[in-house]
């Protein structure tokens, strides 16, 4: 068993998983792994996260894998996001772990540093890596080595209610943040609108995009030491923008965006910062909104250039202790080929790992809006200890965003958050 991974299990118990941008479909989970099947061939075990298993895509990948590996089988097991970091860390420490694992992109450095992932640098070209979108591939590389393959990505865009938009006399999507704020002012004064923008005060994923847009960071590294950098002019500017936007609605200042779709579905919220899968939840709850939802990129200060956003998503990795590495490599080649990568994008609405496959997103309004923003997207610090920052209580939200929205000193709040961010990032893994 890998000693670094054994040690990491204790660390993983203290952190929360970084949620990739997947939907919330319900599936059973299993943690067993098998290296041989009743027919005498080998069985490849693949862990996919709930929502990352569209039926048609699974059928296609399974058939292609079996065609490429006659006599061998594949066992796809669906895992839940709750406590997944600890579960994956424990599994990777075993001598017979799942062979291929679907992991949140910002968690890749954690597993790579623990020794749990196979170095696939030599396979990159065979997997189509020469065409991977650089922004997506950034999360799959650690210390200059390729430890995973980027699979899909997505980020936030503006979801809007077309009927309320028309009622306010608005006919075109804004191209700058100033135009968006002007539109929100009109919407706020429109009868029947409860929130021009429903923006929960602890929506830090959106705030991270504003930070990037302002040229700021959550933290910076000097040598081996991290420092929180929210108490800087650029970060405070981003916080002020967040506060201005939050005031256009009635969302609580001390809650996350987890249930925001339940407010939009009522039909009186004009706009919301959302992920594509939230539209499905909303129209299922309120079918009357099925043809009333539109999307546009979060604006920046420059017309024609979308605002920066946090890029969420998932990578596919091979366990370092896999007993079926050749089959695992074959699975990655099949799952990431143009046919299956495009099929997953079409089924899920998330961006594929190369812009050459964006044609699969035709007709998906969310995806077409976000693909404009993807080149401007970025990440939180891609380091093994990043999950410590997100561990509740998250200092970005509880020490900074919510206090600022409640009228407390921005500089004092930022300074308090910076202390906690630095402490968590500098913890030993």
pLDDT in tens, 120-144: 999 999 999 999 999 899 999 999 9
Domain containing 126 equals 3-154+312-376
pLDDT surpassing 70 at residue 236: yes
3-state DSSP assignment of residue 251:
coil
Please tell me whether residues 202 and 302 are part of one structural domain: yes
Residue 28, pLDDT score: 38
3-state DSSP assignment of residue 79:
strand
Give whole-number Cα distances, 370 to 155, 312, 428, in Å. Answer: 7, 12, 36
Q: Would you tell me how many other CB atoms lie within 10 Å of the CB of residue 288?
A: 10
Please tell me whether residues 191 and 320 are part of one structural domain: no
Domain count within the chain: 2
Report the mean per-residue pLDDT for the chain.
91
Q: Comparing C-alpha atoms, which of 23, 305, 302 is closest to residue 154?
A: 23
Nearby residues of 134 by Cβ (< 8 Å), 6 or more positions away: none
Averaged pLDDT for residues 375-402:
93
Measure the CA–CA gap between 307 and 83, rounded to whole angstroms: 32
CATH number reported for the structural domain that contains residue 72 in this entry: 3.40.190.10
Model confidence at 351, in pLDDT bands (50, 70, 90)?
very high
Averaged pLDDT for residues 309-329:
97
In this predicted model, what pLDDT tens digit does every residue of 41-96 receive, in sequence order? Answer: 999 999 999 989 999 999 999 999 999 999 999 999 999 988 898 899 999 999 99
Q: Are 282 and 293 in contact (CB under 8 A)?
A: yes
Helices (H), 69-198: 84-92, 108-113, 134-137, 162-167, 177-188
Please tell me whether residues 124 and 266 are part of one structural domain: no
Helices 410-425, 233-246: axis angle to 10 degrees equals 110
Please tell me whether residues 218 and 329 are part of one structural domain: no
Please tell me whether residues 182 and 139 are part of one structural domain: no
Measure the CA–CA gap between 266 and 339, rounded to whole angstroms: 39
Please tell me whether residues 280 and 167 are part of one structural domain: yes
Please tell me whether residues 112 and 186 are part of one structural domain: no
- Record the pTM: 0.86
Please tell me whether residues 27 and 96 are part of one structural domain: yes
Nearby residues of 57 by Cβ (< 8 Å), 6 or more positions away: 340, 343, 344, 347
Nearby residues of 65 by Cβ (< 8 Å), 6 or more positions away: 44, 72, 74, 330, 331, 334
């Amino acid at each position: 068993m890998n000693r670094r991974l054994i040690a990491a299990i204790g660390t993983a118990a203290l952190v929360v998983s970084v949620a990739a941008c997947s939907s919330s479909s319900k599936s059973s989970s299993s943690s067993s792994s098998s290296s041989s099947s009743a027919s005498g061939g080998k069985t490849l075990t693949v862990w996919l996260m709930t929502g990352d298993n569209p039926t048609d895509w699974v059928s296609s990948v399974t058939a292609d894998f079996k065609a490429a590996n006659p006599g061998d089988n594949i066992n796809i097991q669906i895992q839940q996001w709750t406590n997944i970091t600890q579960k994956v860390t424990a599994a990777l420490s075993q001598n017979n772990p799942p062979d291929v694992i679907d992991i949140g992109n910002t968690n890749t450095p954690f597993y790579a540093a623990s020794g749990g992932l196979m170095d696939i640098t030599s396979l990159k070209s065979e997997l189509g890596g020469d065409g991977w979108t650089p922004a997506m591939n950034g999360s799959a590389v650690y210390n200059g080595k390729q430890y995973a393959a980027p699979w899909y990505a997505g980020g936030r865009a503006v979801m809007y209610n077309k009927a309320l938009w028309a009622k306010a006399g608005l006919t075109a999507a804004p191209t700058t943040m100033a135009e968006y704020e002007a539109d929100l002012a009109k919407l706020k004064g429109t009868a029947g609108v409860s929130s021009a923008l429903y923006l929960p005060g602890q929506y830090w994923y959106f705030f991270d995009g504003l930070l990037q847009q302002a040229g700021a960071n959550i933290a910076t590294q000097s040598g081996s030491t991290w420092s929180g950098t929210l108490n800087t002019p650029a970060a405070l500017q981003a916080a002020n923008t967040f506060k201005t936007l939050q005031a256009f609605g009635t969302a609580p200042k001390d809650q996350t965006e987890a249930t925001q779709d339940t407010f939009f579905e009522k039909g009186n919220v004009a706009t919301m910062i959302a992920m594509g899968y939230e539209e499905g939840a909303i129209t299922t709850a309120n079918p009357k909104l099925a043809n009333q939802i539109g999307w546009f990129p979060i604006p920046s200060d420059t017309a024609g250039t979308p605002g920066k956003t946090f890029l969420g998503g998932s990578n596919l990795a091979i366990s370092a202790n896999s007993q079926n590495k050749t089959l695992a490599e074959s699975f990655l080649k099949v799952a990431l080929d143009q046919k299956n990568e495009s099929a997953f994008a079409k089924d899920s609405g998330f961006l594929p790992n190369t812009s050459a496959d964006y044609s699969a997103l035709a007709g998906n309004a969310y995806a077409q809006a976000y693909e404009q923003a993807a080149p401007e997207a970025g990440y939180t610090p891609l380091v093994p200890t990043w999950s410590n920052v997100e561990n509740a209580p998250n200092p970005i939200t509880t020490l900074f965003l919510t206090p600022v929205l409640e009228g407390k000193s921005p500089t004092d709040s930022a300074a308090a958050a910076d202390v906690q961010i630095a402490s968590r990032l500098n913890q030993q893994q």
